[in-house]
């Protein structure tokens, strides 16, 4: 896939949208943000993974309960009210939740009460045909997910590999008896997915009708504490007791001197190949229903991945293991002829990774915060080395904001290189627009600016710090920040560089 249209967009996760219910959702404010994008002549809205997050991993969207289930925290209470599943009093008694960040514990507690009420009303209604159709059309993943969620609750949130052996190992008779016992909770989980999917597809339809395409995100790995590993243990490198033999991470890099130890189980690519890579192909097909384009995080793992023996405290003593390379993508493209995939190719990238990205024509990523280091003649992130088939960012969700980077991370040499490249010095409070202008002027067909950089916010608005496990994924946009002046400035910049 190569990008044809020259355009631009904004990176803003759903959780960061304004809402009086403590977290962004698929409700009215999401539609207002889409209207803002249209007025500002933006063609793309990039988000992070929508998957069902886990409180034990600080609600990271890259470490979820399922590769297919959507986070029910994104369900809009206002849209439930419009469907007569909540009353006015149900949604006007909301507690005073923070508006500038997400307090996940309080949001979960509040929304679970609303979901219980909505489910009871739905169960007692005659509305069932759409629900049963949804259940049938998504049975390949939904049945396992709903059972997993109900079982996990039943077993007090314990990791599935610590469940009773016959349930852990999915003994057919034992599992049937247990799921029968938990039928009501399973139906509730299906209901929540039915609602969250309906709300998402309505929002996506609105965006598409207004000329906005959604860029989604697929994490390369899934969490150990997930439906996917419980229901497909054979495609992961696990012990006979269903514990990981190896875990995923990366060697020392820009973000950490000891590497990053993610803790996810790694794939058994030989077993996946034997099955025609079915699980992965189903996963990509599913995401291409949810989104118009998908970014695959840590794309280089398809060529080689960093494998660390389970039990190690850092990623230092891992080693590179060969991935499926071309074989997987040849098979994928037999099933999905046109796969609009963006390859996340940041970090340690070898020539064979570049070769594979080029062979299949996937757009890659350029990040301007990385552009002012080293030799300008070879740095792939500096503007004059960009290619058309790429997506240009001022920074990503893993980076500091532009102002935060400039004030807290950029070296004197990087600042000097930036000023030399611009041809003049600029004050720190204008650095975000300088980088945005560079991104927009790039030859790269797509330019994406994080919302925090459009607003010129500092390090306090950073979305994620990869080396830290707490305090992430909390920043939120405030409604009054989307001013007419900001809309005009963004629109003028997009028009100036032919991205409208």
**169, 161 contact by CB (below 8 A):** no
Taking the C-alpha atoms of residue 408 and residue 413, their distance in angstroms, rounded to an integer, is 14
Give every strand in the sheet of 260-265, ordered side by side: 260-265, 246-250, 304-309, 319-322
Among positive and negative, which fits the CA dihedral 17, 101, 218, 167? negative
**367, 380 contact by CB (below 8 A):** no
Catalytic residue among 25, 225, 228, 344: 344
**381, 414 contact by CB (below 8 A):** no
Confirm whether 398 is a catalytic residue: yes
SS3 of residue 68 by DSSP = coil
Tokens of 271: 């077993």
Confirm whether 108 is a catalytic residue: no
**68, 440 contact by CB (below 8 A):** no
Taking the C-alpha atoms of residue 484 and residue 400, their distance in angstroms, rounded to an integer, is 26
The DSSP 8-state label assigned to residue 400 in this structure reads P
Q: Count of alpha carbons within 13 Å of 431, Cβ hemisphere only?
A: 25
Give one word for 292, left, alpha or beta, with left for phi > 0 and alpha for psi -120 to 50: alpha
Tokens of 263: 């803790």
Catalytic residue among 297, 331, 345, 453: 297
Backbone φ and ψ of 244, nearest 5°: -65, 135
Tokens of 406: 């400039």
Catalytic residue among 144, 331, 398, 453: 398
SS3 of residue 306 by DSSP = strand
- Give all strands (DSSP E) within 183-334, no chain letters: 213-218, 246-250, 260-265, 293-296, 304-309, 319-322
Confirm whether 373 is a catalytic residue: no
Listed residue (306, 441, 426, 305) closest to 366, CA to CA = 441
The residues, any chain, with a CB within 8 Å of residue 257's CB and separated by 6 or more, are none
Query: Mind telling me the catalytic residues?
Result: 297, 344, 398
């Amino acid at each position: 896939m190569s990008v044809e249209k020259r355009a631009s967009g904004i990176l803003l996760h759903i959780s960061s949208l304004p809402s009086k219910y403590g977290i962004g959702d698929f409700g009215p404010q999401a539609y207002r943000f889409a209207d803002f994008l249209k007025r500002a002549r933006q063609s793309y809205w990039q988000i992070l993974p929508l998957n069902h997050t886990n409180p034990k991993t600080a609600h990271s969207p890259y470490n979820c309960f399922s590769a297919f289930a959507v986070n029910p925290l994104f369900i809009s209470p206002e849209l439930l009210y419009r469907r007569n599943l909540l009353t006015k009093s149900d949604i006007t008694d909301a507690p005073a939740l923070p508006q500038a960040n997400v307090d996940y514990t309080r949001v979960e507690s509040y929304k679970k009460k609303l979901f219980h009420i909505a489910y009871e009303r739905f169960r007692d209604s005659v509305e069932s045909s759409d629900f049963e159709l949804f259940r049938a059309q998504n049975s390949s993943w939904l049945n396992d997910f709903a059972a997993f969620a109900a079982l996990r609750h039943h077993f007090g949130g314990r990791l599935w590999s610590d469940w009773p052996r016959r349930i852990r190992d999915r003994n057919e008779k034992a599992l049937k008896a247990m799921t029968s016992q938990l039928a009501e909770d399973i139906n509730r989980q299906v209901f929540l997915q039915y609602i969250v999917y309906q709300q998402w597809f309505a929002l996506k339809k609105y965006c598409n009708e207004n000329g906005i395409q959604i860029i989604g995100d697929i994490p390369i790995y899934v969490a150990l504490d997930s439906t996917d590993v419980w229901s497909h243990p054979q495609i992961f490198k696990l012990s006979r007791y269903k514990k990981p033999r190896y875990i995923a991470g990366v060697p020392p890099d820009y973000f950490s001197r000891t590497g990053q130890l993610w803790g996810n189980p790694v794939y058994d690519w030989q077993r996946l190949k034997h099955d025609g890579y079915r699980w992965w192909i189903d996963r990509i097909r599913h995401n291409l229903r949810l989104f118009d384009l998908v970014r695959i995080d840590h794309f280089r793992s398809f060529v080689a991945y960093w494998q660390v023996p389970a039990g190690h405290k850092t990623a230092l003593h891992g080693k590179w293991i060969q991935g499926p390379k071309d074989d997987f993508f040849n098979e994928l493209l037999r099933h999905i002829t046109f796969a609009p995939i963006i390859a996340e190719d940041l970090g340690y990238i070898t020539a064979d990774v570049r070769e594979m990205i080029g062979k299949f024509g996937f757009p890659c990523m350029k990040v301007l915060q990385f552009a002012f280091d080293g030799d300008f003649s070879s740095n792939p992130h500096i503007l004059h080395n960009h290619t058309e088939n790429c997506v240009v960012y001022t920074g990503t969700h893993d980076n500091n904001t532009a102002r935060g980077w400039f004030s807290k991370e950029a070296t004197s040499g990087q600042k000097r290189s930036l000023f030399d490249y611009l041809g003049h010095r600029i004050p720190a409070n204008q650095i975000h627009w300088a980088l945005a202008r560079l991104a927009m002027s790039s030859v790269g067909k797509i330019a994406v600016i994080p919302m925090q950089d459009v607003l010129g916010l500092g390090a306090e608005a950073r979305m994620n710090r990869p080396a830290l496990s707490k305090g992430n994924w909390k920043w939120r946009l405030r409604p009054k920040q989307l001013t007419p002046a900001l809309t005009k400035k963004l629109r003028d910049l997009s028009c100036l560089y032919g991205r409208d």
